[in-house]
Structures are given as C-alpha cells and as structure tokens.
Amino acid sequence: MNSGSQSTPSRVGNLLAGLRESVAAAEFGAADSSDLPFENRLAVVRLGMATSLFYSLRTKHAPTAAHCLRVALSCSAWAQRLGLDEDTRDRIEVAALLHDLGKIGIPDRILRKPGKLSVDEQLTMELIPELGCEILRGCTGDHELLDIIRYANTWYDSRRHGDGPRGSALPIGSRMLAIADAFDAMTTDTVYRPAMSRERAIQELNQHASTQFDPELVGEFSRMLEERPEMLHRIVVDRWLRQLQDNAAPSIWGTVAESPASRKSASSVVHKREVLFFQQMFANQKDGVAFTDGEGTITHWNASMQRLTAIAADAIVGQRFSNDSLRLRDEDLVRDEDACLIRDCLAQGSAIVRSMMIEQPGKTPTPVQVHVSPVAGSVPGVYGTVVTVRDLSDQATLQERLEALHHQTTQDPLTGVANRAHFDNQLEDLTEATIAGGPSFSLIICDIDHFKRVNDVHGHPAGDEALKSFAAVLRAHSRDGDTVARYGGEEFLLLAPNCDNATASKRAEAIRIALESTPLPSLGGEAVTASFGVTEFQSGDTAETVLARSDRALLKAKDNGRNRVIQLGAGNVMQSPADETVATRGWLEWLTGSGPIENGEFDIVSPVPVDLVIEKLRGFIADHNAEIISVDENQVSIKMNATYSRGGRRRADQQMALRVQLTLSESREERSTGRSFNRTNVHAQLQPIRNRDRRGQDVAACFSQVINSLRSYLMGELMRPDSA
C-alpha cells in the first residue's frame, strides 16, 4: 500500500470510544419527517421562470427531467445541511434542476440511441453544458448560475480545460452537482447497466475523490446519506413530478386531462373504468408486452418483459427498440447489430412472428416467440406497434413446485401466505445456493406502522383485516419464485431470488404506495402504512446476517419517520482482480503459507473516511450478533461466531468462536497528479478462541467468511500484508 503521513491514533480512538455504547443503544436517532422545507421551496418558490424550461426538457426526454429533479432535491437537501446562504442555495437548486437543459439541442437519434455512442456522438453529448448555458442566457444574466452548469462536468483535477478553473477554484455548486449527478446516475437503471446499491455508489465516489470529485464534499455527501438516507427517496421526486404536471399527458390508453364537469359525467366514469381494466390486463400479462410509437421509441414495458430481458422499465422506456440492446438473438444465437423487428414491422405494415432467444448474463438463453404487430387507426399512418414475447421454456415443473410449497403445512392460517418455518428454510436454501455460485437474492422486511393503535381503536377483527389486506398487497406485487411470508405479528417478508438491491428497493416502494392507497372498510375507509427494510446478499453473508441487516434497515426506516423504504448493504458485487487471485490460490494456501497470513492476519483498505468505516463496523457487529471485548485507542476487539459446513449438515449447525482484533488508521495516498486523498486502513487479526479449533480443517472456511464479510461491510479492498 502506498501511504502518506499517518493520522493521529487519538482521532481514531476518539471515534471508536463510543462504539460499545452506540451498539448497545438504539442504532439510529429519530428524525422528524416534517423537517423537509427544501422540497416545498424547490417546487413552489424556486422554479419561477425555470418552470417552463423544465417542462420543455420533460417534453423532450422525460427520464432526463426526472433525473434532474432527483439531483435538484439532493443538492437542495445538501445545501441546507451545509448551511449555505439563501442566494447560493437558490442558484444551486435551479442549476441542478436544469443542468441537462442542453439536451434539448441534442438530436433524438443520439439522445435515444439504444446502443453505444460513436466518438462523434460522444463529442456532441459533451456540448450539453454549453448548450444549456446558451438557452439560459435568454432568461437570466446571473453568471454565477451559468458557471455552475458550465463546469458541472469538469473534473476536480482536470487537465482537459486548459486555463479553466479546477480544484477549489471550481464553483461549490459545480462540485456538489457533479457528485449528486454521478450518484443518481449510478443508482438508476440503464439498458446496459443495472442500478448499483447506494453503498456501492458511495464507494465509487470515494474511489474517484481528488481526481473527478472534491474529496471533502464526497466525504460530506457520504455522511449525509449515512445519517439521513430518506432524503433522496424516490417518492419525493414522484410527488413533485405530479405537482409540476398540470395536465395529464396523452397515453397509449387514451387518457387526457379532464375538467371537473367531465369527471362527473357518466361517460367519464365508464372511460376511467375501462382504462383501469386495460392497465391491469397489461400489468398482469404472463407474456412480456411492450408498446412503441411510430418511430420505434418504447412507451410501455410490463413486468413480464422486465423479467424476461432483465431490463427495468425505467431504463428502457423512452429508448428506441433494438434487437441487440434487448439481447434478442436468432435461434442460432447469432448477433446482428443492425436487425430490428420494429423497423421491419413498420416498413412492411404487417405483423411479424419469429422464434428467437433472449440472452441474459450468467444464464442459459431463453427460447421465446416474438410477435410484433402494427397499430393503425382510422386516419392514414401507423400509430406504433405492440410487441408480445412469450416464454417457450418448460415451466411445468416449476409451477408444480411452487404450488407444492404453499400447501397447508407451510401457510400462515390467517393470511394464507407462507409461515415463518417455511421462510426460514427458503432463506437458508437461497443463501447456500448463492454461496455456491448461484444467483443473488434480496430480502424485503416490512412492518405495519402503529399496528397496536389499529387494534386498540378499531378492535382485533379490524386488525386481522389489515393483516389480510397487507398480505394480499404483497402477493399482488410478488413474482414467480418469490416467497411472501408472515414472520410474526404485523411483520411480513418478501424473499426475491434473482433480484438486486436497487430493484428490490423499487419493488418495496411500489408496495408501500399501493398499501397507503388501499382504504380498508374495517378502519372506516382509512388505510394503513408500513415501513420497509431492504438488503441483498453480499459476500461473507449467512442467512442470519441477511435477516439481521434487513431488520436493521427496517428499524432505521421507523426511526426516520416510518412509511418509508431504507436500503442497507453493498450487494453481491463482483470481486476485484486481486480478490480473484486470492480465491484462485485458495484460503487454505493463504493460511498454511509463510508469514503473518497463517495467523489470519490481513488488511482491508477502504476509500471512505474513518468515521464512516466505524459506522459500517457498527452494522457488522450488530448483524453478526458480535460482542465487543475491548476498545483501546485505535483498536477494537470483538468476539463472534463464524459458520461452516461439513458432512452435508446445515451451515447453522456448525459454528466456530473467533476473536477479531481490528486496528484502524487513516492515511493519505498520493496520486500521480500530485494530489492526495484520505483512506482508511483496517488491519485485522483472527484467532479461534478454543484451542481445539486452531488446527482444525474448518478454520480456513471460517476465516474466509469473516474476511469476505468485513470487506463487504467496510466497502474496501482486501490486501495481503506482504504487499502493504
């Protein structure tokens, strides 16, 4: 490891001093959910003339407008936290809201291109900041506002902009906007890359601190997300998008904005009912269904299409249909970048039916039948196309298994969903399969808010109806292969195979909205709300740690105001090349080699500041049910159990008690550019507590589990001591 001057151990010691008390106490402090004045000020007061420009951007490309609003809300919250003056906050909010305004001047063929951009097209996209400034000059002469947008894409340590500003000379709004913009891009689905978990995105920001981003602001942004993760909640964006939209946009269902008088008419009621029928049919189709306009731009994308292609609706709607971007291949799996079923259908004016294969990374190609039909009206011309994709793989065995899993002995008698015993078995099986190299999975744990009040005010029969209704909402939002279970009382779980952190969070948010929008007759027409904790399996996990981490996220959601979704964990990210080398050699070779490795000694280097590493360490201790033995200066010693398997017995039946001693230190790494950035080094030493375990054959597996888990929780990279 290359390191600069070491930090003072007393600073780390001061941060560690409160670790024992904070682990024993409540995990996070309460937050007043009403303390969000920045939202009202942004949507109601700050827009002004920018409103029409924002509408123009939304008309050009709705996903870009939604992205800009999310970035604006996060910058507004951040500016308030930093205590910036009112004028600076105003400029940062409006600049963030309109930082992609220049896309209005980018041709649709580039903006909506489903494939990778050519060099010339990339150069065209780099003109967006300057084009945005040109548009804004027509309505403002505020040079500070324009500079925030102009330099939002400038790297903190840039060498590309000649004599332009860099480092701390860049406007603080530009430096903040660059971080918030990158974070939202990394945590949003795209056609070619699924969304990252929040912790993984934070790790990426810290790894590029001092080069692409301001290191001090990256640290502050990371702390804000750690303390108040609900600030950037997607529902806030959706709420303000609805408020900003005065008139309902025409949709494929034919809905238009209605006057108060028309809403009261009988024909309007019938029309709205028919729209609901069509929407439900579209959403619940077992076949994948998508709609495009007359130019091949995708306008609708149902859940089955998302399941078949592994591409989220948020990532594909607004993009042009392309066989290659959807990974559609002919039956011989031949890739043709120029092939496009939509283009052929529109050119021929007739339906196309073709047997094809859909490829997904790490999976066997799925045989499908694709049916593309043109949609024409009474006037000449084609309105668009309807695409139907039918899965032709054999599902009979899977369906029989799913039905068998729900027989009487595995069901909760009140709600009809799975019971706790069945859930525990499913979680254990999924964990073992993932550890063996299978696909990842996510867990959503949810709890009805203030359920005791429901029983006290309306009676226990009303409470039972609320539980049944909640179970029905969860079932309605489950997919094939999911497990919905009642864990006890008003606590429910949804176990989702082949689902990452970001997707699980979006699903939990959809469930939350559906629940609060479902009135219950037994409660006098009122609806109940629920809090949600979400996590994904990550390296080093056991079934117990997955459940504990999701439960900790649930408690954080409750502490931060209830009726919200909180996600924890970095997710099942790919190993770095260094880690793959270690895995290839094998942990046993590590442990039996020469030097300190034989004592379970290793280093983890994290790009985040030491205070955030300690916060993550709190989570590691809580989720592993570990016991703090001692805290001394910059060291902490804990006792924990690691699990292993032998002779076919379940992992939970095999445990080894370990002593884990961690020494934390801060250092600064010098980059080739001459700039430096802070990082945290965690030196760890593992030792079995019982003498009989020290030479046992299972010590390597236990050490491996703890090393992988620490690396995941601390968002760091593993390094051999002899490379330090």
Start-to-end C-alpha separation, the chain: 4
> Tokens in use for 108?
């649709």
Region 21-38 average pLDDT = 44
- Pick from 495, 458, 457: which is nearest to 479 by CA? 495
The Cα–Cα gap between 123 and 704 comes to 46
pLDDT for 137 equals 84
What mean pLDDT is reported for the chain?
79
What pLDDT digit, counting tens, does each position of 677-699 carry? 678 999 999 999 887 777 666 88
At 584 the pLDDT is: 34
Which residues have a catalytic role annotated?
490
- Say what the pLDDT of residue 284 is: 73
* Coil/strand/helix, residue 60: helix
How far, in Å, are 42, 67, 533 from residue 136 at the CA level? 18, 19, 42
CA gap 587, 82 in Å, rounded: 46
Does residue 370 register a pLDDT over 80?
yes
Confidence (pLDDT) at 76? 85
Strands 530-536 and 565-567: parallel
pLDDT value at residue 239: 44
**Alpha helices by DSSP H, 112-259:** 119-125, 128-136, 143-150, 172-186, 198-207, 215-227, 234-244
Among 198-202, 261-265, 480-484, 615-619, name the one with the lowest average pLDDT: 261-265
Confidence of residue 265 (pLDDT cuts 50, 70, 90): low
pLDDT at 548 over 90: yes
In b/e form, how buried is each residue of 669-678, taking b as 16+ CB within 10 angstroms? Answer: beeeeebbbb
Cα angle value 697/699/704 (rounded, 5°): 125
Please report where in the chains the tokens 């998302």 appear, as a residue: 306
Token pair, residue 615, equals 């916060």
In this predicted structure, what is the pLDDT of residue 10? 62
Q: What is the pTM of this model?
A: 0.69
> What is the spatial distance between Cα 317 and Cα 690, in angstroms, rounded to a whole number?
58
**Proportion of the chain in helix, strand, coil states, percent, rounded to 5:** 50, 20, 35
pLDDT on residue 269: 57
pLDDT at 411: 86
Is it the case that residue 724 has pLDDT exceeding 50?
no
